[in-house]
Structure 1
Amino acid sequence: MASTGALGLVAATAAADCPASPVTPGPPPGTSIPIAKTVLPASTRSSTVIVPNGPQIQCGSTQVITRQDIVYASPTAGGRQVDLKLDLQIPQTRGPKPLVVYITGGGFVMADKRGNLAQRTYIAEQGYAVASIEYRTTRTGSTYRDGVADVKSAIRYLRAHAGELGIDADKVAVWGQSAGGYLASMTGATNGRAEFEQGDNLDRSSAVQAVVDQFGAGDLARIADDFDAETRAAILAPGTSVNAYVFGPDSSGTVVTDPAANAAADPATYLSRSSAPTVLFHGDSDRIISSSQSLIKLDALRGKHVESARYLVKGADHGDLPILNDPEAARMWSTQKVMGTITRFLDRKLQG
Structure 2
Amino acid sequence: MYTEPHKHLPGPLLVVAALTIALAATACGDTASPTPAAVVTECPSSPIPPGRPVPAQGAPPRIVVPVDTSTSTVLNPGTAPQIQCGRTPISTRADVAYATVPLPGGQTKQLAMDIQVPQTAGRKPLVVYVPGGGFVMADKGGNLALRTFVAEAGYVVASIQYRVQPDGATYADSISDVKAAIRYLRAHAADYDINPNTVGVWGDSAGGYLAAMTGVTNGDKRFDIGADLNQPSDVQAVIDKFGASDLSRLQSDFDPDTQQAMAPLLASTAKYVNGPTSTTPLTADPTAVAQANPITHIHPTDPPFAIFHGSEDTTISPSQTLILHNALIAAGVNSTRYI
TM over 0.5: yes
Of residues 233-242 and 206-215 in structure 1, the stretch that sits farther from structure 2 once superposed is: 233-242
CA distance in 1, matches of 2:316, 2:290: 18
* Alignment match of 1:143 (pick from 170, 173, 176): 170
Alignment check: 8 A CA contact 1:34 1:288 kept: no
Query: Partners of 1:284 and 1:43 in 2: how far apart?
Result: 9
Say whether residues 1:169 and 2:196 are aligned partners.
yes
Deviation at 1:225, TM superposition (A): 2.2
Cα 1:234/1:250, change in 2 over 3 Å:
farther
Q: Distance in 1 between matches of 2:59 and 2:177?
A: 28
**For the residues of structure 2 that align with 1:234 and 1:66, how far apart are their CA atoms?**
40
Q: Once the two structures are superposed, what CA deviation does each residue of 1:278-322 show, in whole Å capped at 9, x if it has no partner?
A: 11111111111111001100111012111101111xxxxxxxxxx
Report the alpha carbon displacement of residue 26 of structure 1 after superposing the two structures with TM: 5.2
Output the CA distance in 1 between the equivalents of 2:248 and 2:142. Answer: 28
* 2:304 counterpart (277, 280, 293): 277
TM-score if structure 2 supplies the norm length?
0.84
Q: Contact 1:239 / 1:249 at 8 angstroms: preserved in 2?
A: no
C-alpha distance in 2 between matches for 1:169 and 1:255: 38
How large is the Cα RMSD of the aligned pairs?
2.0
1:174–1:211 CA contact under 8 A, matched in 2: yes
Query: How many residues are aligned here?
Result: 302
Task: Tell whether the 8 Å contact from 1:191 to 1:274 is kept in structure 2 after alignment.
Answer: no
Per-residue displacement from partner, 1:77-97 (whole Å, max 9, x unpaired)? 233111100000000111001
CA distance in 2: counterparts of 1:34 and 1:306, whole angstroms? 41
- Which digits, 9 at most, give the CA deviation of each residue in 1:56-96, with x for residues without a partner? 21000000000110111101123311110000000011100
Percent identical across equivalent pairs?
A: 49
Corresponding residue for residue 16 of structure 2? none
Residues 70 and 87 in structure 1, CA contact (< 8 A), matched pair in contact too: yes
Matched, 1:244 2:271: yes
Retained in 1: the 8 A contact 2:295–2:324?
yes
Tell me the distance in 2 between the aligned counterparts of 1:36 and 1:289: 14
Aligned with 1:18 (options 43, 49, 52): 43
Give how far 1:258 is off.
Answer: 1.2
Unaligned runs of 5+ in 2: 1-34
What amino acid does structure 1 have at the position aligned with 2:289?
N
Whether contact under 8 Å (2:243, 2:320) holds in the other structure is yes
Q: Distance in 1 between matches of 2:171 and 2:53?
A: 19
Q: What is the distance in 1 between the residues matched to 2:58 and 2:91?
A: 38
The CA distance in 1 between the partners of 2:38 and 2:264, in whole Å, is 46
Q: Answer with 300-309 or 117-126: which moved more.
A: 300-309
TM-score by length of structure 1 reads 0.81
1:38 aligned partner: 62
Choose which of 126, 147, 172 in structure 1 pairs with 2:153: 126
Q: Is the 8 A contact 1:192 1:274 kept in 2?
A: no
Judge conservation of contact 1:136–1:150 (CA < 8 Å) in 2. yes
